[in-house]
Amino acid sequence: MEHRIVTFGEVLLRLTPPGYLKLSQTNSFAATFGGSETNCAVSLAHFGLQTEFISRFPKNDIAEACLMELRSHGIKTDNIPFGGDRLGLYYFENAAAQRVSKVVYDRANSSFSTLKPGMIDWAKALAGATWFHWSGIGPGLTQGVADTLLDALQIAKKMGLTVSCDLNYRKTLWQYGKTANEIMGPLLDLTDVLFGTGSEYQVVYGVKPPSYKVKSAEEEIDLGQYQSFFTEIDAKAGGKKKYFIALRNTLDANHHILTGLTYAEGKLIPAHTYAIDHVVDSVGVGDAFAAGMIYGLINYPQDDATALEFAVAAATLKNTIYGDFNLVTADEVKTLMKLEGSENISR
């Protein structure tokens, strides 16, 4: 069966000072494009899967440059409607040593945030698709985006698509009078596969996650705590979902510990833990994980352990790539998995 994945979200123009300059120091910026669901689409395309991205763009040269960038990665953009005044953007300040990275958003009244139901023909856009992916960023922007997404999910489920969500909670975005809990609930009811961090699961389901503070890749995780964590979440979510979680401890800007877990039908599976000692760019690591999760579930449908290992390896490699996009191939991810001993996983 040939799979086609559709992702839905907002593209942003990213402006980054050179090197490790602070925003207050620089007089020049490197301009790249990114955004959670965009990043996911680019990863999937580089993994060799048919991918389409759906958003809303203004009719101007910046948007055209973005479309050209997406198409250069093999992503279809045929169902993106035009309208509104601007593409959103964000300023990104690189982390250095103990100084954390910083993001300043400028996305108010963007073309995407002014979406309303009816602007996208979802039956047409999803025709022939097998998978639909969204994140919690879109419905956090406006009620119009949330309602548009609800229409998409209802049609996707009627058409038999698998639906995945990256919870992607951004506290500063929820400014229109609704909480993430009340908006996300009906959307997640129509979703089959969830990915997020422990704190993001807590926002949506109200279950406090265990602390992940390992100092090395050799330290063991208390899997019993995570078993209880997901058992409680699954009961609140009504069961029948598959959950993935990214676990990351940032020792300093260049040194991260990264792993993940998956849970379904009462069974918790851990992944290999990676010690990353030279982080080039950590933006989009979660999106790379989500894309790896989708690829893994499609290509190893009876083997959640291997799907998880692919997702964690993909996220690990993203730390070595500058910009929002993970530009590695599926073979490169599999090479890392093999180097780390994942050949012992049952396939």
Over 80: is that where the pLDDT of 341 sits? Answer: no
* Residues 82-95 pLDDT 10s: 999 999 999 999 88
On the question of pLDDT at 13 being above 60, the answer is: yes
Residue 340: the pLDDT is 61
Is the distance from CB of 127 to CB of 120 less than 8 angstroms? no
Helix (H) / strand (E) containing 340: none
Say what the pLDDT of residue 253 is.
Answer: 87
On the question of pLDDT at 334 being above 60, the answer is yes
Number of H helices, E strands in the chain: 10, 13
Note the pLDDT tens digit of each residue in 204-245.
Answer: 999 999 999 899 999 999 999 999 999 999 999 998 999 999
**Mean pLDDT, the chain, integer:** 94
Residue 308 pLDDT > 60: yes
Q: What is the pLDDT of residues 125-143, one digit of tens each?
A: 999 999 999 999 999 999 9
What percent of the chain clears pLDDT 90, i.e. is strictly above it?
A: 90
* Alpha carbon of residue 117 to chain centroid: 23
Query: Which tens digits make up the pLDDT trace of 110-125?
Result: 999 999 999 999 999 9
Q: What pLDDT score does 320 carry?
A: 96
Place of tokens 């309303």: 116
Cβ contacts of 275-278, under 8 Å, gap ≥ 24: 275/216, 275/217, 276/316, 276/319, 278/254, 278/320
> For residue 153, how many C-alpha atoms fall within 13 Å in the half-sphere facing its CB?
22
Contact, 95 vs 278, CB < 8 A?
no
Structure tokens at 225: 């705590």
Q: What is the mean pLDDT of residues 59-73?
A: 97
Q: Is it the case that residue 319 has pLDDT exceeding 80?
A: yes
Are the beta carbons of 121 and 150 closer than 8 angstroms?
A: no
Predicted local distance difference test score (pLDDT) of residue 339: 81
Residue 344 has pLDDT above 80, yes or no: no
Are the C-beta atoms of residues 118 and 147 closer than 8 Å to each other?
no
85 contacts 115 by C-beta, under 8 angstroms: no
CATH fold label, 4-342? UDP-N-acetylmuramoyl-L-alanine:D-glutamate ligase (3.40.1190)
Strands (E) in 199-343, as ranges, are: 242-252, 255-264, 267-270, 274-276
Tell me how far apart the alpha carbons of residues 290 and 157 are, in angstroms, rounded to a whole number.
Answer: 20
Q: pLDDT over 70 for what percent of the chain?
A: 97
The DSSP symbol for 112 reads T
Q: Categorize the per-residue pLDDT at 301 as very low, low, confident or very high, splitting at 50, 70 and 90.
A: very high
Q: Where along the chain do its domains lie?
A: 4-342
* CB-count burial class (<10 Å; 0-12, 13-18, 19+) for 124: exposed
The strand ranges marked E within the chain are 4-8, 12-16, 30-34, 50-54, 88-93, 102-106, 131-135, 162-166, 193-196, 242-252, 255-264, 267-270, 274-276
Q: What are phi and psi of 102, to 5 degrees?
A: -135, 140
What distance in Å separates the CA atoms of residue 314 and residue 327, rounded to the nearest whole number? Answer: 10
Query: In the prediction, which pLDDT does 304 show?
Result: 97
pLDDT exceeds 90 at position 249 = yes
